[in-house]
Amino acid sequence: MSIRLRLILALVLATGVVWLSAVIWIENSTRGKVEQVLDARLAESARMVSSLLSDGRIEVTNASGAFAEALPGGSAYSHQLSCQIWSLSGTLIGQSGGAPPGRLTDAVDQGYSYSTINGERWRVYSIVNERIGARVMVGDSVAVRDRLVRDVIEGFVLPAAVVLPILAVIILIGVASGLRPLDRLAQVLRARQPTDFSPLPTGPVPSEIRPVRNALNALFERVARARETERDFTAFAAHELKTPLAGLKTQAQIAQIAPDDATRVAALREIETSISRTDRLVRQLLELAAVEGEDLPQQTFAVSSILKDVTAELSHLADQCGVALSLSMNSTDDVCLPRFLFHAAVRNVVENAILASPVDTEVTIRSDCDPRTCRITVEDEGAGIPDDIRSHVTDRFVRGRRPGSTGSGLGLSIVAAATERMAGTIDFTVSERGQMVRLTIPREMPSPA
């Protein structure tokens, strides 16, 4: 159901409910007021007749002919007003014309009462005149009272029945006018090209539409930045792959035309180096895509097992670089995290440290876990991160802590992305030995808000 239709239905229903509530309230209020007024008329009429009888202006023996003149009336709602005079011994002395047969009320006490005569309900007021020894009863039909209330309500409901459809049309026009800025915004968005991420016009709009426009502009800005980043990433990746592939082709050609075995062996070694570099680049590209991709399942595992796996995986690279690996682990280090993210973060930190270390040095890997967090510290004896790239060292394709580094510039990007996904932090500090990188990761990922 559209917002427009929901608004119209809500407003029409709300108006109808308010009007119906008003009708019910008016009916109850009118009925109460009518009861008071007509009850007062009954008491007034009964006292008037009793007073006339007491003063002798109406003879008790001739009372029946005088009641029609004595009782107030003339209204369409008063023709049912009737009066009876009974002796205290229970004899009918007289009654008005049109009075029902039988006694108006059997109530003994003076005052108001209800009675049913020939299936019709009556409201009766009776008063005892001790002076003349008579009881005066004046009553009117409850049906007349109901008709009076019904006529008042009809006078209110009938105009409402005419006004409500008109009001519904006015509401429809008002809602359409109120939603027109939203329609214009939708038209602007429909007319946009898929590649157009420029901000929406910042002209005057209703305050209710402004947050939507601002949110869309913020979204366009984020998407534009993401597309720009992806374009840069694709261009850099293509360039990084092009370099080792060109080297492979060149060295293969050298190996083919090599005049001696030494030249051929040297070319084959260069081919092997280029293949290793390309393999590492492709692996890191895939890792980065996985780290920044969909949510990964959490698993309970020991941090020490990851450190042992990473050390075993990188031992060959460490041997090639002439670097020793030293491992110090906490015995109680179980965590509940995405295993792939944790492994990717640790592996790339250690791999970066190996590649940045001078020959015949040591890379130290330590784990230290407390009840809430786990800290992985990797320390090497390299030259450290240059000051000019320290602030953006985790950006993609930012290389190098030493000349001639064969890294791709993706390792620390993967570390930063994986650590952020695990709600952790990464810190770079300069130690006495060289460069120290510390990952601080919660032992369990916080639940999403």
- Where do the structural domains in the chain lie, given as residue ranges? 3-163, 195-293, 295-449
Distance CA 46, CA 140 (A): 12
Strands (E), 291-434: 299-302, 323-328, 334-337, 361-369, 373-379, 425-430
Amino acid 399: pLDDT: 61
Amino acid 360: pLDDT: 92
Task: Copy the structure tokens of residue 409.
Answer: 């510039």
Asked whether the domain spanning 295-449 has the same topology as the one spanning 195-293, the reply is: no
CB 138 within 8 A of CB 71: yes
Which residues of the chain register pLDDT less than 50? 64-65, 68-74, 78, 403, 449
pTM of this prediction?
Answer: 0.51
Amino acid 101: pLDDT: 79
State which CATH number among 3.40.50.300, 3.30.413.10, 3.30.565.10, 3.40.630.30 fits the domain covering 295-449. 3.30.565.10
Amino acid 359: pLDDT: 92
390-398's contacts with Cβ under 8 Å and 24+ in sequence apart are 390/428, 393/428, 394/426, 396/229, 396/232, 396/233, 396/236, 396/288, 397/236, 397/240
CB 395 within 8 A of CB 413: yes
Amino acid 15: pLDDT: 83
Amino acid 61: pLDDT: 52
Neighbour-count burial of 283, counting CB atoms closer than 10 A to its CB (0-12 exposed, 13-18 middle, 19+ buried): middle
Written as one letter, the residue type at 336 is: C
What secondary structure letter does DSSP report for 425? E
Distance CA 53, CA 226 (A): 104
Superfamily (CATH) of domain 3-163: PAS domain (3.30.450.20)
Q: Is the dihedral of CA 175, 176, 178, 179 positive or negative?
A: positive
Which fold, 195-293?
Helix Hairpins (1.10.287)
Amino acid 158: pLDDT: 81
Distance CA 367, CA 382 (A): 21
Buried residues in 46-75 as b, exposed as e (16+ CB within 10 A): bebbbebbeeeebebeebbebbeebbeeee
Per DSSP bridges, beta strands 299-302 and 323-328 are: unpaired
